Amino acid sequence: MLKVIAGVVAGIAATLALVWSMAGSLAFNEQESPYTVEETVARIQHNIQDTGNGWSLMGLRNPIKPLQAAGDDALPAMMIEACSNKYSGPILKDDNVRFLSILMPCKISIYKKSNGKVYIGTMNAGLIGSLFGTTVGDIMKNVVADQQKFLVMDPNKPAPAIILPKTGGEGGSGGGSAGGC
């Protein structure tokens, strides 16, 4: 009997260790981009605007600027912020899940790694949403479907220009067009 209990405990510990080690790769997605950081940003921004469903650009941040201002250097990284009033509205109106506003606006990170390649990082909105019941889960399924449209990199389309925020500036407090967040 002691061996059975020890086996169950060891199995649970191994499972927890596996989940812990994989948590980051489950909660976040990363995919390679065939373009530069700037062109990837511009393509995603234009895809967001073309998706519909209430999506608008909320900001463009350059998290490397404060490092550069302090005399440090790092590889390029930019964050696009976008929000949909269609999806954020029901969450912001419900006191039980309003705390999820911390996840708004949706952020997409585009960055270069030391291997010279450019990557796109997103939160696994489907997984995160499923943790908070059916209402949020259903909303986040729609967010996931739209995010997939954001990340389409059609090589047949010419490279668009980056859409700079109307207020706040790069690396500033965001700005951009008005939206639902």
- Residue 159: alpha-carbon gap to chain centroid: 22
Determine contact, residues 55/84, Cβ cutoff 8 Å: yes
| Residue 172 predicted with pLDDT over 70 | no
What is the arithmetic mean of pLDDT over 56-75? 92
41: in domain: yes
pTM for this model (two decimals): 0.79
Average predicted confidence (pLDDT) for the chain: 84
CA 116/CA 122 separation, integer angstroms: 20
Question: Which H/E stretch holds residue 55?
Answer: strand 55-61
Percent of the chain with pLDDT over 70: 80
1 assigned to some structural domain: no
**How many domains does the chain fold into?**
1
Is residue 6 domain-resident?
A: no
Q: Work out the widest C-alpha separation in the chain, in whole angstroms.
A: 69
In a domain, 134, yes or no: yes
Q: Residue 67 is part of which domain span? A: 28-150
pLDDT tens digit sequence for 10-33? 666 655 555 555 555 578 999 999
The CA angle 122-54-171, to the nearest 5 degrees, is: 50
**pLDDT tens digits, residue range 119-150?**
999 998 888 888 888 889 999 999 999 999 99
Residue 34: asked if its preceding bond is cis (omega within 30°), the reply is: no
Let me know if residue 68 belongs to a domain: yes
- How many CB atoms neighbour CB 34 within 10 A? 10
> What is the pLDDT, as a whole number, of residue 56?
94
Q: Do residues 57 and 81 touch, judged by C-beta distance below 8 A?
A: yes
Is residue 181 a part of any domain in this protein?
Answer: no
CATH number at residue 59: 3.30.310.70
Residue 84 is inside which H or E element, if any?
strand 77-84
